Amino acid sequence: MKVGFFDSGFGGLNVLRAFQRLCPGVPTEYIADSKNCPYGNKPADEIIRLSEVNTKKLLCRGCGIIVVACNTATAAAIDYLRVKYPGVLFVGIEPAIKPAALKSKSGIVGVLATAGTFNGRLYNETKARFAKNVTVLATVADEFVTEVEKLGEQGLEGLPAAKLPRLEQVVRRRIEPLLSAGADKIVLGCTHFPTLRPLIEKVCAGRAEVLDPSDAVARQIRKIIGKSV
């Protein structure tokens, strides 16, 4: 079964690559809607419209499973898509708040995401259910999306070394306040953000663990494929 992935840009490639490492023989399609990036500051009805456009394209390419490889699009559109296309298997993305809350020793968890994700039902229901006993520091980091889109498909590997210090400062401005507040887990709540993980971990310098849900999503897709064949 062919698996389709879509995101507002290059961020969903982190999820796609995690899945390809896990299931290298499964055919995939990917749509990067960079023309409309970012999704995080758009109204919900516009995100739903764009998500449906991407879904239709992937269905035309023969995809039987569609991964909404965008936290913001998952928050705004996945319920709509599942109702509108009941014969299609959809997999969404949500911040790894549950493992962060369960593993935190300081009782303080930092979450980096877009405003669209923080306003979504999935995030708030997960937070209410699993993070009752921890303090969650929600940090909007829309500029991370912009920076990752500038990097393109190659990510940090294509960035000249002379430009790394500036990007590290962009990352540091968001991460240092979370560390200073005592966060010992930092959740990457946008599929663009794992591209910057090496810099985020450099800034953390062992003071906090960085949680990226890409591998967990890849395992979920593999599980769904197993049930559908």
What is the band of 208 on the pLDDT scale with cuts at 50, 70, 90?
A: very high
The model's pTM:
0.89
Strand partners, 166: none
Q: Under DSSP, is residue 186 helix (H, G, I), strand (E, B) or coil? A: strand
Give the tens place of pLDDT for each residue, 24-49: 999 999 999 999 988 988 999 999 99
For residue 196, what are the CA distances in angstroms to 46, 65, 191, 220?
27, 28, 10, 24
pLDDT digits (tens, 9 = 90+) for 144-176: 999 999 998 888 998 999 999 999 999 999 999
- Six token digits for residue 10: 């290059």
Active-site annotation, residues: 70, 190
Query: Over 70: is that where the pLDDT of 229 sits?
Result: no
CA dist., res. 228 & res. 163, Å (int) = 46
Beginning with the edge strand found earlier in the chain, give each strand of the sheet holding 108-113 in spatial order.
Answer: 135-140, 108-113, 185-188, 209-211
Contact 78, 39 (CB under 8 A): no
What is the pLDDT averaged over residues 83-102?
A: 94
How many other CB atoms are there within 10 angstroms of residue 197's CB atom? 19
